[in-house]
Structure 1
């Protein structure tokens, strides 16, 4: 009698329940499934409902019999745009609800490997004693990860907490960033006191990364090689497999855009873009979490109108606080917007950035947005909101030369000036840098490229784990 064939490797994937995290870890899932891996994807009830309503993810993944969603009920599902709300999710809700669930899954489901969002440190505790290797997937850039990792060193050197209010003071104790990093470019949590719980939690979690079996990053070597070399001294087993969305297309897994949006996309803006000349439109989006005050909204609005550039602006329903009938947008701005602007509640961003009419991207520099802009060769105007976005925006300007950073300012004259600088005065310079980096990004995910090879290595290593466990 022939022996029973070994079971396919079974991977458990668990993202932090937020748009950028779910999006990138679903793309990782789509890259792993064609290799014959079975995957259980843990997801909050709210995010699962939104994916079901707004995307084709179920039809895309239903062709893989080894895939299933495991829906988690009882999580905090409110906004995470403040330290207090982020703490409620990361420190209170997630560990309490999911740790027992994870233990049961890891013990009872013959899991080969557990790929956990690297910001969920309790995943290591849940897996302790189960024999299941834990890989951390960090959805931030390598440069942001390294800045987080170095925070204890900055405390020891006296750089943190800040003394005085000068945010332009140079930080020289983050290796690889000595020549250009300022206080204002550190992750936003560094501006709070050392007793801030979010600051402590993110720092502690990042320092636990070497305890994981491996670190997976959505980046590529030509973009962040020097920083990766510093990380590798602490985390020797790194898989850089990004940009993930470009990797999907390069492997012919998804020639069309694989949207994993938790918001309903308004595709009418594509028709609006069709009416404009190449590289003439400024695309504006602050992502899924950032919020503006009414005053900030008005300053941005004046700056965009005064730049005299056509603009496509994503204004989420919850983007602006205190915007009601008494605080509505001035009529003259609405009039000028009708002449040269297009406002949508949410845009199909990958398709927008691919469109020939888009000449620049005013972005919060969330990592997915930054990579999507890099792949399409679109220069950036950076206005980071919090967390990893601060170091990302500094690298966009000072290292990669892909645009200008206007963090910590929100003035209509500065907005107008920076937009014109990127789209007129230094247009050719930024477009040339963007073209060069886009070429390197696409080469990295093409057959033989660094990210392509690293994904193959990741898949083979997971399969070896399965062989060893059988």
Structure 2
């Protein structure tokens, strides 16, 4: 790819410092790099990515002066991060521009929507910017609706209305809205994230065959082009950007299991449980009589040592039927023939990865966008079932058997296979995601 003679364009990426945000941004970087762009990743010191996983990228760390995210203060953390990072980022960009040669000019800045300080800094330096939204398109519609619902006095809503449907947002209910922490702080962050200001376009890690109607509504609301180019993990070169060390020994264990029999359990990189919930999960898995691969992340139970959190009697009961790891190579796990179901928190990356492999889900959302994702999985795409109750061993056992044994699960597995094939068509030449990527590349080259 060339422009103005031998000039090679550089794209500056600004990922959010969380696993679910970091993955798609680095995948986008790999996609753009394979199409001829140079890539510079400007990141926070907190949860900084591993440069060795992407040797062709340049990495620059911001002195963000941020406190460590505790999992209970996302909104103030994100707001403060944007205050801390704006000036260092602008200086960092200016330095890159001073050092660039004639063959390595910055074409644009692509930033995660929660890192909105990037747009102002890029504007000051007269650089174009593009927003990457790492959630589904339906999440953006839910965010847009929150402003209207609050203005009409429907938010905050009483518990008695939590399961009431929201008009024009089927299948979402009030309880599914991605409202986090104190409402005032949440609305402040939401207003910052929703306003793309002078940015030239929006990229979504989603797929037209999943969210065609949602994308059409968003385009009506937006004055700039939108580019759905997902699933990025399928289009990008196969590299890992996991912040946790993956235990690949589970793949050898999966090789010994029968086709479609294993329930894979992972609540993601930032969810928490208490000891009682963990114990109930453990016995629900045992009592289901299904082989299981369970991710018990260090820190999943705050304040507990990893070796001490599972009951000894549980360890004695699982035998060879269960396998427990601190973190799993999830894409490889979901692609394994032995895996027939996924009990998930329904983060968007996990949801996409499961859909791409045709693996049906038990949806147990924890916070944020996960309620929106879970409702679409269970009510629109119908490739999963909702688990809305507290963690209780009998409920867990029944949910697993519904998915893994009953006719209901078999039907979901068939729909999942059909949806997987539709997604694959979107990424091929002439498919919607492929076409969107071509248009995005044309836009970046035109800057």
TM-score by length of 2: 0.92
1:162 aligns with 157
Match of 2:422 among 440, 448, 463: 440
Match of 1:227 among 214, 218, 230: 214
Structure 1 residue 338: Cα displacement: 2.9
Structure 1 residue 366: Cα displacement: 0.8
- Given that 2:288 and 2:398 are in contact with CA atoms closer than 8 Å, whether structure 1 keeps it comes out as yes
1:39 aligns with 39
2:204 aligns with 217
- Given that 1:294 and 1:322 are in contact with CA atoms closer than 8 Å, whether structure 2 keeps it comes out as no
**In 1, Cα distance between equivalents of 2:367 and 2:415:** 26
**In 2, Cα distance between equivalents of 1:460 and 1:107:** 27
**In 1, Cα distance between equivalents of 2:376 and 2:189:** 21
Change (3 A) 1:193 1:21: closer
**In 2, Cα distance between equivalents of 1:275 and 1:108:** 51
1:183 aligns with 174
Q: Does 1:194 align with 2:183?
A: yes
Per-residue CA deviation, residues 118-167 of structure 1 (Å, 9 max, x unaligned), is: 12222222223332121100111111122112210111232211034442
Match of 1:71 among 48, 61, 65: 61
- Given that 1:79 and 1:289 are in contact with CA atoms closer than 8 Å, whether structure 2 keeps it comes out as no
Q: Does 1:51 align with 2:50?
A: yes
Q: Does 1:354 align with 2:335?
A: yes
2:291 aligns with 310
Structure 1 window deviating more from structure 2 (333-342 vs 379-388): it is: 333-342
Structure 1 residue 277: Cα displacement: 0.3
**In 2, Cα distance between equivalents of 1:321 and 1:101:** 33
- Given that 1:241 and 1:451 are in contact with CA atoms closer than 8 Å, whether structure 2 keeps it comes out as yes
Give the count of matched residue pairs: 436
Structure 1 residue 104: Cα displacement: 4.8
Q: Equivalent residue of 1:150, what SS?
A: helix
Q: Equivalent residue of 2:241, what SS?
A: coil
**In 1, Cα distance between equivalents of 2:31 and 2:213:** 26
**In 2, Cα distance between equivalents of 1:364 and 1:139:** 16
**In 2, Cα distance between equivalents of 1:411 and 1:75:** 41
**In 2, Cα distance between equivalents of 1:170 and 1:459:** 40
The equivalences for 1:197-346 within 5 A come to 197=185, 199-209=186-196, 211-235=198-222, 236-248=224-236, 254=237, 257-324=238-305, 328-346=309-327
- Given that 2:264 and 2:342 are in contact with CA atoms closer than 8 Å, whether structure 1 keeps it comes out as yes
- Given that 2:66 and 2:84 are in contact with CA atoms closer than 8 Å, whether structure 1 keeps it comes out as no
Structure 1 residue 22: Cα displacement: 1.2
CA RMSD of aligned residues (A): 2.2
Structure 1 residue 206: Cα displacement: 3.2
Per-residue CA deviation, residues 298-333 of structure 1 (Å, 9 max, x unaligned), is: 111111111111110111111112435997433221
Q: Equivalent residue of 1:233, what SS?
A: helix
**In 1, Cα distance between equivalents of 2:311 and 2:343:** 22
The equivalences for 1:450-461 within 5 A come to 450-461=432-443
Per-residue CA deviation, residues 210-234 of structure 1 (Å, 9 max, x unaligned), is: 6421110000100011111111112
Q: Equivalent residue of 2:106, what SS?
A: coil
Match of 1:394 among 368, 375, 384: 375
Structure 1 residue 384: Cα displacement: 1.1
**In 2, Cα distance between equivalents of 1:288 and 1:374:** 19
TM-score by length of 1: 0.87
Per-residue CA deviation, residues 397-440 of structure 1 (Å, 9 max, x unaligned), is: 01110111113532222111111111111122101110111111
Give the unaligned 5+ runs of structure 2.
Answer: 98-104
The equivalences for 1:20-169 within 5 A come to 20-48=20-48, 51-52=50-51, 56-58=53-55, 61=56, 67-76=57-66, 78-82=68-72, 84=73, 86-105=74-93, 109=97, 110-169=105-164
